Structure 1
């Protein structure tokens, strides 16, 4: 059994960072569906802006909003306007074809990678 890449949202931009919220990352529902992420699923957040890396879980955001909100303590590491990569992994006994997308500066789907 190996831990392998399941999905990735590449070059997303943080639209809000909310220290007062209790943990997690809120992601536009449309993007969640494109990469098969579930609310409550663990994700790795990598900031292309600061180099910070952190783990949290997904909250479903409003469909079509482009929302990417980093909540709770993670907002100390990732700020509004930062460019990030959102990654999930899965365990598998065989190779997995990950669902990977590129988004634009408004967090709208551009293409599959």
Structure 2
């Protein structure tokens, strides 16, 4: 069986609200955002910084629902600044014969990281 790495969920253009260098690691994300994107606590996420082009991976931890928190912690905190715009993505291995039915969960936010819409449409 062939498995393809596919985008499972994406938080599009979220804004960094906190940077915590003296933390053991991870990225704290508003639980509403995690749930909408289908990203689980402690799941690996890839983070793309729109402001400086840095790309790195860490894992997601839940922050308070409705808070809008996007806190990049630990060593990864050196890759962002407060207010930076990020794309946070999670991927899954999908069997090739299920690709046509597969749809990622895309979440779009406003300036305060509050959800404005969710979509499966990549266009």
TM-score tier (shorter): over 0.9
- Aligned with 1:58: secondary structure? strand
- Aligned with 2:11: secondary structure? strand
The count of residues paired between Structure 1 and Structure 2 equals 113
User: What 5-or-longer segments of structure 2 have no aligned partner?
Assistant: none
- Aligned partners of 1:28, 1:2: CA distance in 2, in Å? 29
From 78, 82, 87, give the equivalent of 2:84.
82
Residue 16 of structure 1 pairs with residue 18 of structure 2: yes
- Aligned with 2:53: secondary structure? coil
From 22, 38, 41, give the equivalent of 2:40.
38
Residue 106 of structure 1 pairs with residue 108 of structure 2: no
2:4 is matched with 2
* 1:85-96 superposed matches below 5 A: 85-93=87-95, 94-95=98-99, 96=102
Alpha-carbon deviations, 1:22-70, whole Å to 9, x = none? 1100000011111111100000000001100000000000010000000
- Aligned partners of 1:48, 1:56: CA distance in 2, in Å? 17
- Aligned partners of 1:105, 1:22: CA distance in 2, in Å? 27
Deviation at 1:99, TM superposition (A): 0.2
Instruction: Provide the aligned C-alpha RMSD in A.
Output: 0.7
- Aligned with 1:64: secondary structure? coil
**TM-score normalised by structure 2 residue count:** 0.90
